[in-house]
Chains A and B, each alone.
Chain A
Amino acid sequence: MKGLPPVLITAIVLVAGSVLCAVQFPNIASTRVVGNLLTDNAFRGIVAIGMTFVIISGGIDLSVGSVIGFTTIFVAMAIERWGVPPLLAFVAVLALSAAFGAAMGATIHVFDLPPFIVTLAGMFLARGASFLLSTESVPITAPVYSTVSDFALRVPGGGRLTAVAMIMLAIVIGGALLLRLTRFGANVYALGGSRTTASLMGVAVGKMTVKIYMLSSLLAGIAGIVFSFYTSAGYSLSAVGVELDSIAAVVIGGTLLTGGQGSVIGTFLGVLIQGLIQTYINFDGTLSSWWTKIATGVLLFVFIVLQQGLVALARRPVAGRAGAAT
């Protein structure tokens, strides 16, 4: 293999960025800041992992932000207004979101529709449904919330590894293993290579599509629960635009937007890069938080151009040796 794998480039960007930040603000290089970065970006990380599967398979899922919003308000309403035990509320909302994703996947496959359109419809649907539940922010006061929020592993240097950060890390690791080691993962790449070819080679394309979007929505549901832990409230307008942040993180992480190539670890690094930019802006104090978006935009441009170059490189066949034995 020639050239740098895209993930390495992402890692180099992250390390270089961290060094730059640490030089300017020595305080950034502390376990406390790193712990906060993981906690603050836990829900983004989780949802971006799902997006990674979808994008590698050649699709896109625009509905995840709305699913997060729906989940937070559903959980808040269930616990606070309808008196449902929190655990049951979680199970119910995860079942709902998984079913929602499965329905989108089935629609995409059965009617042979572009995922963009189907998930765009899903985005409006889920957001609209959350407004049906409540238009206000509903605070959650259940004891389990304060327990989970307070739970954290203390790390030397004053850092705290919170429960939500641990959930995110577990999902990153689980996602990476699922993509790398299982037949499901190989089929995700196969779908991204070419749906027709994959189906000719015996991959059950329909089932795979349903499962992939189900996974994405399920992870969006988990991200929603994590988000509700993080804010201790449910609000139908939460996580607006998170789907676009996720797509950006996935692409910065070296996943091809056209599918077929990418990695979960890369996406995780992409999320961290976005978080680092945000942290830098917080430390600086004078910059508007919109600079996060600008920096992300610039990074996205750089990475997309880079990917084009890499794709062109990959298309150039290397001479192979054939037929010594015949």
Chain B
Amino acid sequence: METSSDSVACLLEVRGISKSFGAVRALQEVDFTLRAGEIHALLGENGAGKSTLIKVITGVFARDAGNVRLGGDDVAPRSAKAVLQAGIATVYQEVNLLPNLSVAQNLFLDRQPMRFGVVREGEMRRRARALLADFGLDIDVAAPLGHYSVAIQHVTAIARAVDLSARVLILDEPTASLDRHEVDILFGIMRQLAKRGIGIVFVSHFLDQVYEISDRITVLRNGRLVGERDTASLARIELIRMMLGRELVETTSARAATREHQPRDVCASFENFGKSGYVAPFNLELHHGEVVGLAGLLGSGRTETARLVFGAERADGGQARVEGVPVRLHSPRDGVRHGFGYCPEERKTEGIVAELSVRENIVLALQAKRGLHRPLARREQNEIARRYVRMLDIRPPDPERPVGLLSGGNQQKVLLARWLATSPRLLVLDEPTRGIDVGAHSEIIRLIRELCDDGLALLVISSELDEIVTYSDRVVVLRDRTHVEELAGEAIDVTNILAAIAADGASHEVHA
């Protein structure tokens, strides 16, 4: 046992953790310290390494380098079970309990009170009720867990974790599916646990909540530690700067500066378009030959906006117009019919078909648009594939190569080609430059500009603010699933975007 001052000083100490997956370095020499009785927020954008760090700490992933010390003792985790026994418990966003078992069984699985080899059901239920009462929960513990709301399942998971004599509790996006009232209950429980000396790691992308509950904040970016600060002394704009990073040079829109603003035709417009619990209603006009950037933090509603615009998600209010004509936009099919294209963020799972060839991937959307009874002749296919391979400089220039064998940047180009082949009027690109190397990066940006000069309307999502600033004619800034600001022309610069993201707002009601 450590002296109490020592254990208060540092409960969990993570030093120099590195972890690679193949060639991808997910974590590079990350440090993290957690004090007893503190609530410590772990923040970072997509791909920053938050979940990898958690999985390394909890022993789900083996670490390549570094060490983890809990209360001064080295934790050499071989299995998730060993870490659990050491006193580090994790509650994931998707509740990791068994909905088919009773609440009581979930709380005491594998450690039920026994007598003569038989589970003492009555005793177990009594203990379960007593345990949950500590968390302000009064429910029938004999009913299957799946019968209860996600909030109750979360509290059950936390109760189980704490009861397993947890000294460290890691909560991974615990509030993502809770409403405001449930969040308050959860925060109450977290404060109570912290008072008992448990160290809590809180992962969330709701900054308001982070400021409300956390004592300290650690920020990761691209697998590296950016910094560790006291929440009270960290300005919101500073925090966002840490998360989005870059040596924020004051770049202004290259396009806005070089092109005079000639009036352009409206390609598509959206009026009061939205879906409750998804994105607040917004107005958006997209012009031919114009790039509109969507900026905001992870979870701010960028992808959600894109999916509504394309029809991948069905809006429950508002009106969409294409070239001024009101249209129905209920499914991706509708979107394709109106000449929209959508390159999703998850290339691997939602975009390319890795086993099919470059040619087959390119003609996919065009074929779908024409319908199955009008097959594209092979000769036609070859010609289309060759044209786009040349135009977008897809390498290697072999249309018959399976797309899965191409690099990330070239996969992205194939995806672009697929939509370009349908001659769209509007193209929605979600993080087109994510996970591709620097060379391909600038090429994609060049392509975006060229397409735009050809009269295409583009809606582009990116976490890279510099990038957005470089190619956008207008930038829509989102926060908490609401469009909060629209910047145009000279006003487009990183500072203004950051200010719009960081602006304090009464913004809790949307993410229910």
- Evaluate contact between B136 and A325: CB separation under 8 angstroms: yes
Interface pairs (10), CB distance under 8 Å: A201-B97, A201-B106, A201-B110, A203-B109, A319-B149, A320-B139, A323-B136, A323-B185, A324-B136, A326-B188
- Evaluate contact between A192 and B100: CB separation under 8 angstroms: yes
Where the two chains meet, the residues of A that have a C-beta atom closer than 8 Å to any C-beta of B are: 1, 181-183, 186-187, 189-190, 192-194, 197-203, 260-261, 314-315, 317-326
Query: Which residues of A sit under 8 angstroms from B151, Cβ to Cβ?
Result: 322
> CB < 8 Å: which of A183, A189, A320, A325 contacts B98?
A189
The 6 closest A-B pairs by CB, nearest first: A193-B98, A325-B136, A260-B100, A323-B185, A326-B136, A326-B188
> CB < 8 Å: which of B80, B143, B150, B185 contacts A200?
B80
- Evaluate contact between B96 and A314: CB separation under 8 angstroms: no
- Evaluate contact between B139 and A190: CB separation under 8 angstroms: no
Query: Which residues of B sit under 8 angstroms from A323, Cβ to Cβ?
Result: 136-137, 181-182, 184-185, 188
Interface residues on B, range: 35 or more
Known contacts A186-B109, A203-B110; decide if A317 and B84 are in contact (CB<8 Å).
no
In the complex, per-residue mask of B407-425: 1 if CB is within 8 Å of any chain A CB, else 0: 0000000000000000000
Known contacts A193-B98, A320-B139, A323-B137; decide if A314 and B146 are in contact (CB<8 Å).
yes
A-B pair count, CB < 8 Å, reads 105
Query: Which residues of A sit under 8 angstroms from B97, Cβ to Cβ?
Result: 197, 201
| Assembled-state Cα–Cα distance A64/B133 (Å) | 47
19 more A-B residue pairs beyond the given contacts A193-B99, A261-B100, A320-B148, with a C-beta to C-beta distance below 8 A: A183-B114, A186-B105, A187-B110, A189-B100, A189-B101, A193-B101, A197-B96, A198-B109, A200-B80, A200-B96, A201-B97, A201-B109, A201-B110, A202-B84, A314-B147, A320-B152, A322-B151, A323-B184, A323-B185
| Assembled-state Cα–Cα distance A203/B181 (Å) | 34
**In whole Å, how far is B130's beta carbon from the nearest beta carbon of chain A?**
13
| Assembled-state Cα–Cα distance A318/B149 (Å) | 7
- Evaluate contact between B146 and A183: CB separation under 8 angstroms: no
Name B101's closest neighbour in chain A (CB-CB).
A189
| Assembled-state Cα–Cα distance A319/B139 (Å) | 10
B319 beta carbon closer than 8 Å to chain A: no
- Evaluate contact between A326 and B185: CB separation under 8 angstroms: yes
**In whole Å, how far is A280's beta carbon from the nearest beta carbon of chain B?**
35
| Assembled-state Cα–Cα distance A201/B137 (Å) | 22
Query: Which residues of A sit under 8 angstroms from B143, Cβ to Cβ?
Result: 1
B81 beta carbon closer than 8 Å to chain A: yes
- Evaluate contact between B96 and A317: CB separation under 8 angstroms: no
> CB < 8 Å: which of B100, B119, B160 contacts A181?
B119
- Evaluate contact between B148 and A318: CB separation under 8 angstroms: yes
**In whole Å, how far is B287's beta carbon from the nearest beta carbon of chain A?**
45
| Assembled-state Cα–Cα distance A186/B114 (Å) | 12
Name A203's closest neighbour in chain B (CB-CB).
B110
- Evaluate contact between B98 and A317: CB separation under 8 angstroms: no
